[in-house]
Amino acid sequence: MNRDLDLAGFELHPQRGAVLGEVHARPFTRLTAPLTVLRFAFLSQGDVAAADRQKFVAFCASHGQAPPDDGTKHHQVAIGAVQLRWEQHSEFSTFTWILTNTDGSAGAFGGIGGESAALIRSLPQSGQLLVSVKLEVEQTSAALERAQQLFERASLAVAAVRSGPAVVASDFRVDGDGFVRILVCNDGLSPGRLGALVQRVLEIETYRTLALLGLPAALELAPSVDHIGRRLVEVLEEMQGAEDLKLNNHLLTELTALAASLERGAAGSLFRFGASRAYYDIVQSRLNVIEGGEIAGYPTWSSFLARRMAPAMRTCATMEDRQANLSIKLARAADLLRTRVDVELEEQNRDLLRSMDERTKLQLRLQSTVEGLSVAAIGYYVVSLFGYLAKGAHDGGLHVEPSLATALFVPIAVGLVWIITRNIRRRHLKHEEMAGSHD
Residues 287-311, buried b or exposed e (16+ Cβ, 10 A)?
Answer: beebbbeebeebbbbbebbbeebee
Measured at the alpha carbon of residue 319, what is the angle toward residues 318 and 322, in degrees to the nearest 5? 85
Residue 336, pLDDT score: 79
Measured distance CA(341)–CA(333) in Å, rounded = 12
Residue 184 or 389, more confident: 184
Measured distance CA(223)–CA(227) in Å, rounded = 6
pLDDT digits (tens, 9 = 90+) for 121-135: 999 888 899 999 999
Residue 334, pLDDT score: 84
Residue 103, pLDDT score: 46
- Asked whether residue 164 carries a pLDDT value surpassing 60, the answer given is yes
Mean pLDDT of 61-75: 88
* 149 CB-side CA count, 13 A: 8
**Would residue 397 be called left, alpha or beta, if left means φ above 0 and alpha means ψ between -120 and 50 degrees?**
left
- Asked whether residue 1 carries a pLDDT value surpassing 70, the answer given is no
Say which amino acid occupies 175. Answer: D
- Asked whether residue 108 carries a pLDDT value surpassing 70, the answer given is no
pLDDT digits (tens, 9 = 90+) for 322-359: 999 999 999 888 887 777 776 777 777 777 778 887 78
Which has the minimum average pLDDT: 20-24, 157-161, 378-382? 20-24
Q: 142: helix, coil or strand?
A: coil
**Closest alpha carbon to 318 in 277, 284, 282, 278:** 277
Residue 27, pLDDT score: 74
Residue 116, pLDDT score: 84
Residue 55, pLDDT score: 92
**Of all residues in the chain, what percent carry a pLDDT higher than 90?**
40
Residue 107, pLDDT score: 46
- Asked whether residue 88 carries a pLDDT value surpassing 70, the answer given is yes
Residue 349, pLDDT score: 76
What are the DSSP calls for 61-91, one per residue?
Answer: HHTT-PPPPTT--EEEEEETTEEEEEEE-SS
pLDDT digits (tens, 9 = 90+) for 247-296: 778 888 888 899 999 999 998 899 999 999 999 999 999 999 999 888 87
Measured at the alpha carbon of residue 85, what is the angle toward residues 83 and 110, in degrees to the nearest 5? 55
Which has the minimum average pLDDT: 338-342, 367-371, 388-392? 367-371
Mean pLDDT of 403-408: 77
Residue 369, pLDDT score: 67
- Asked whether residue 202 carries a pLDDT value surpassing 80, the answer given is yes
Measured distance CA(318)–CA(311) in Å, rounded = 10
Measured distance CA(439)–CA(436) in Å, rounded = 5
Residue 255, pLDDT score: 86
pLDDT digits (tens, 9 = 90+) for 18-32: 777 666 666 778 898
* 286 CB-side CA count, 13 A: 21
Mean pLDDT of 134-142: 91
Q: 348: helix, coil or strand?
A: helix
Residue 379 or 324, more confident: 324
Residues listed for the chain? 439
| H or E element at residue 93 | strand 92-100
Residues 13-34, buried b or exposed e (16+ Cβ, 10 A)?
Answer: eeeeeeeeeeeeeeeebebebb
Say if CB 93 and CB 210 are below 8 A apart.
no
Residue 104, pLDDT score: 42
With a CB cutoff of 8 Å and minimum separation 6, the contacts of 382 are 413, 416, 417
- Asked whether residue 61 carries a pLDDT value surpassing 60, the answer given is yes
What are the DSSP calls for 243-257, one per residue?
Answer: --HHHHHHHHHHHHH
Residue 157, pLDDT score: 93
Residue 409, pLDDT score: 75
pLDDT digits (tens, 9 = 90+) for 213-261: 999 999 999 999 999 999 988 888 887 776 677 777 888 888 889 999 9
* Residue 105 banded pLDDT, cuts 50, 70, 90: very low
Which has the minimum average pLDDT: 149-153, 218-222, 360-364, 407-411? 360-364
What is the pTM for the complete model shown? 0.74
Residue 387, pLDDT score: 77
Parallel, antiparallel, or unpaired for β 180-186 and 128-139? Answer: parallel
Domains and CATH numbers, the chain: 26-202 (no CATH), 214-350 (1.20.58)
What's the whole-number average pLDDT of the chain? Answer: 84
Cα 180 to Cα 186, 299, 396: the distances in Å are 20, 18, 134
Measured at the alpha carbon of residue 128, what is the angle toward residues 126 and 134, in degrees to the nearest 5? 110
Highest mean pLDDT among 131-145, 203-217, 348-362, 407-421: 203-217
